[in-house]
């Protein structure tokens, strides 16, 4: 069995005339953390959204685990179960308690019974340090706590891979650290993660591999010691000189 969990080849995506992804190849192996960096508008979110087919690619293939999501005959709902996604903007259900946010998809999608869903929800809230907020409403949480709840909600579905799209970009600076610590812990536990981020320190310390994207192509990829600490391509050098 292959240890490649995410395998993207020749991925292309256009919005009308605008070519946003121009042939992306990306492999994520089991247990790896891969960080995607690059300027705003370079196609990072679109790439992540194509990995779980929230956007439909115009060409290329996306395989996650055992499923080819770009196969027209695939059962997308089933294939997506192995993929957890965390967005910049938390996306908790505002009218549900934190606990109910964590149980609803487990019950509806995975058909877990109430007690089991609750037990798994509480275990995952503990994992992100939010046990005491189970009965709070999202509006009663700080941004960092909401984001950790969103991470716990994704984890409760037992994903094979977690996708993060700038999970700390909407947070006040003092709340960023808590979310990054949770992500570091997940990485240490062996979770496979694909992370779009502007947190270069996180990428440098946690990533096994870093991809630098610009204008819809992967300009440079490799270990952080190479791509972040010693970039070879002028576009990567220029980007890093602006963000570091």
Residue 36 vs 207, nearer CB to ligand ADP: 36
Q: How many CA atoms lie within 13 A of 184 on its CB side?
A: 13
CB of residue 177 to Mg ion, shortest distance in Å: 21
Stretch in the footprint of ligand ADP (CB under 6 A) among 39-47, 121-129, 141-149, 198-206: 39-47
Residue with tokens 């994207």: 213
Q: Phi/psi at 44 (nearest 5 deg)?
A: -60, -50
The alpha carbon of 196 is separated from its chain's Cα centroid by a whole number of angstroms, namely 7
43 lies in the site for ligand ADP, by CB under 6 A: yes
Residues 19, 86: Cα–Cα separation, whole Å: 25
40 lies in the site for ligand ADP, by CB under 6 A: yes
Burial 159-185 (b: 16+ CB within 10 A, else e): bbbbbbbbbbeebeeebbebbbebbee
CB of residue 15 to ligand ADP, shortest distance in Å: 3
Structure tokens, 158? 């037992």
Residues 209, 212: Cα–Cα separation, whole Å: 10
Stretch in the footprint of ligand ADP (CB under 6 A) among 36-44, 80-88, 168-176, 221-229: 36-44
148 lies in the site for ligand ADP, by CB under 6 A: no
Among positions 46, 124, 147, 168, the unique one binding ligand ADP when judged by CB under 6 A: 46
Among positions 32, 42, 145, 146, the unique one binding ligand ADP when judged by CB under 6 A: 42
Q: Residue 6 binds which one of ligand ADP, Mg ion, none, with CB within 5 to 8 A depending on kind?
A: none
20 lies in the site for ligand ADP, by CB under 6 A: yes
Handedness of CA 83, 243, 221, 42 (dihedral sign): positive
CB of residue 107 to ligand ADP, shortest distance in Å: 31
Q: Are 98 and 125 in contact (CB under 8 A)?
A: yes
243 lies in the site for ligand ADP, by CB under 6 A: no
Residues near Mg ion (CB under 5 A): 45
Residues 37, 207: Cα–Cα separation, whole Å: 11
CB of residue 147 to ligand ADP, shortest distance in Å: 18
Q: Residue 221 binds which one of Mg ion, ligand ADP, none, with CB within 5 to 8 A depending on kind?
A: none
Residue 44 vs 81, nearer CB to ligand ADP: 44
The alpha carbon of 83 is separated from its chain's Cα centroid by a whole number of angstroms, namely 9
Q: Are 48 and 194 in contact (CB under 8 A)?
A: yes
Q: Which residues bind ligand ADP (CB under 6 A)?
A: 15, 18, 20, 38, 40-46
């Amino acid at each position: 069995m292959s240890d490649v969990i995410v395998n993207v080849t020749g991925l292309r995506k256009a919005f009308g005339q605008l070519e946003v992804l121009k042939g992306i190849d990306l492999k994520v192996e089991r247990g790896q953390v891969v960080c995607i960096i690059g300027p705003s508008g370079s196609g990072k979110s679109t790439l992540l959204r194509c990995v779980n087919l929230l956007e439909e690619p115009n060409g290329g293939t996306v395989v996650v685990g055992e499923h080819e999501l770009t196969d027209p005959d695939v059962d997308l709902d089933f294939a997506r179960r192995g993929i957890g996604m965390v967005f910049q903007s938390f996306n908790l259900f505002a009218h549900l308690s934190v606990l109910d946010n964590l149980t609803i998809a487990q019950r509806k999608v995975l058909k877990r019974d109430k007690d089991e869903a609750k037990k798994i929800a509480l275990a995952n809230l503990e994992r992100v340090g939010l046990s005491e907020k189970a009965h709070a409403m999202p509006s009663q949480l700080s941004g960092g706590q909401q984001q950790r709840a969103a991470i716990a909600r994704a984890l409760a579905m037992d994903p094979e891979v977690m996708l993060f799209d700038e999970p700390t970009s909407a947070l006040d600076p003092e709340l960023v650290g808590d979310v990054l610590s949770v992500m570091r812990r997940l990485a240490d536990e062996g979770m496979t993660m694909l992370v779009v981020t502007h947190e270069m320190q996180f990428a440098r310390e946690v990533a096994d591999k870093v991809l630098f994207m610009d204008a819809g192509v992967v300009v440079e990829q490799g270990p952080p010691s190479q791509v972040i600490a010693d970039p070879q391509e002028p576009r990567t050098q220029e980007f890093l000189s602006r963000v570091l």
